[in-house]
Structure 1
C-alpha cells in the first residue's frame, strides 16, 4: 500500500489547487467584494464578499485537511471564540471557561453574554479532570493552559459533557492541530488563534474553528456572515502562505524549547519551570498521552518583578512582547497585565526559530545579569 503522508508533510500543499501546467502552485489573494450574479442565487458559488470568496475557501479547505473537520476562518482568535460562545448558546445556558486561561474570553462572556441570561462558571485547568460537568451546556477550555501550561484529559472531558448533551470546544492555540488533534480526541470544536504559530510571522491577526458537526458549523458560519466578522483576502492569503512552513517552524521551536527548559530547570536563579516536556512537570503524563508535540512555550519564575525585568532587558535575541508562536523568540513578565493569578517574577517565554546554541547562550547570559 502507498505510504500515507504525515500531517506535517500535508501542510506544505494544504488547500493548494491541483497541479495544472502553466499555472502557479497557489493563486494570489482574490480582492473582490462583488461577483457576477445572474439567475438563481443558490446555484452560484460566490455571491457577495461577506458571504464567501475563493481565498477563504482555499485556506478553509487546507486547514480542514489538517484539523479533520470543516473549517471556518475569522479575522482574529477572539472572533473565533466569540462565534462559539455567541452562536451556540441561548438564555439560561451555562458556559464553562478556564479561570487561568485567556482573560479576554472571560471578559467577553462576563460583559456581553451574561446580560442576556447566559450563566458563566470557571474552573482551574488543573482541576478539570475531577470537575463535575453537570449543568454545563458548553465548555471552551485550553490545554495546555496559557500561561502556566496545565493540562487535562480531553477525551475524558468530552465523554462527561456528551453524556448530558453538552459541547466541548478546545482552544488549541498553544499547540495547533499539528501539536494536538482535538477533534480526534473527542472535542466537538477545535479553535485556534492563527495569529500565533499558524501564521507565525507576527504580521497578521487571525483565527479559525473546525468541527465535524454540520449543525454547529452552520450556526458558526451564519454568525460570521451576519455579524460581519470576516477576514480580509490579503490576511487570509498570508496565513495560507505561512501554513506551508508550519511543520518545519514547530520542529525547530519545540526542540529549542525542550533544550531551554532543561537548562532553566537546573539554573540556580530560576525558582520553578513549567514545560510539559519535562518528566518532572505536573502536565507531563497527560501531555505525553494526548499531545504530538510538547510545545514552544515555557513559563518560569525568577525571584521578583525586578529580577524578571532585568532578565528581559539583558536578552539580545529575545523580544519583549505579549504574543507568542512567532519565528522570533518573545518573552514577557506575564503578571504585568494583572489578569493572571501568578507571581510577579513569572516569565512566559515563547521559543522561536533561532539557532539553539545562540538562544541558550543569550538566555544564560541574561540570567547572569539578574
Structure 2
C-alpha cells in the first residue's frame, strides 16, 4: 500500500500540471495514468493556450520550450457572407493574446519534468474506484504491473476525464449533471503544409462551419462541420480540400495551400457540467467535471484554471492551515466553467449550420456576426472571452 498527500488520477495536462504546481509548493503527490507514455504523448487535442495557461505552465517550470517554439497570436479572423473581419485581441482586451502550442507538446514537457524531478508518475496504472471520499483517508484502488494496489491519500483529485472513476465518488443524491449534444460533428485533419493564414480563421458558410488552425509553421490543422456518424474514410483528401476552399471562400481572390493529409478523425460536439466539483476529500478537475465544444478553444484552458485554483488552495492549507480556498474550490471554478460553457455555446451556435436550420435562423446568425464586426463592444466581449478571463475571477 502506498500513501501520498494528493492522489491524482489521470496523467493528462491537468493532472500533470497539478502535480508540478504541488511539487513546487512542497506538497507530495502520486499520478496514476491508465495509458502508456507513448499514447499519452501522442494524443491530439487542443492547441490554443490562454495567457493565464501560459503563465501557469511557466510557474510549473514548463515554459522553456513553450516560449521558444510557441506561436503568439494576436487575434482571429471571422469569415461570413463572403467577407473577412479580424478580431484584434490586444486592442480589445488591454494587451492580452493567445499562444499556439499543441497539447501533445505541453504533455511531453510536463512528463519530462515530472519524471526528472517530481513525485511518482505511474503509467499503465488503471484506477478502478475511489472509496472513502467523506473520510480523512480516501483510497484509490488501481491495477499496476499486473497487481491490484491501493493508494491512500489525504485528498484525491480526479483528472481522469468524462469516463473516469473519480466522479463516481460523488453520491447520486449529491451529483448533478447538465449537458447538451450538438446535431453535427467536426472532421479534423492534420496536413503537412504551411498554413495559408497568419491567424486562425472561423468561417460561417451555407455549406457549414470551417476552421483553419495550425500546429506549427509547417503543419496545418483544419476542421469541417460534418453530419453525425460521418466516416473519415468517406472523405478523400481532394474532397476535403475542395470543401475547405468552398467554405473559406471570400468575394476576393484567396488561396488555400494544399498538402499531404497525415491524419483524419471525427469529433462529436457536446457540452457537459458535473456539479459540485468537490465531495468530501475528492475533487474533480478538467474533463472529469466539464466538457465544452472546441469552437471556443476552452477545454485545455478550463482544465488548467481548475488545477491552478486547486494548487493555490492546497498551498494555503499547507502554509497557514486554512482550508478557506479549498472549501471555495467548486464555487470558484464553476463561475468560470459556466462562463466558458456559455461562450463555447455562443461560438458554436453562431458559426455552425444546424441541419434543420431555417433561413430566418441563418439571418439571425449573420446579424450577430455583423454586430461583432461593427460594434467595438460586441467584438470586445468575444475577444475577452476568447483570450481568457483571469483565473479565480468571478467571470
In the superposition, the TM-score normalised over structure 2's length comes to 0.26
Higher share of residues assigned strand: 2
In the superposition, the TM-score normalised over structure 1's length comes to 0.28
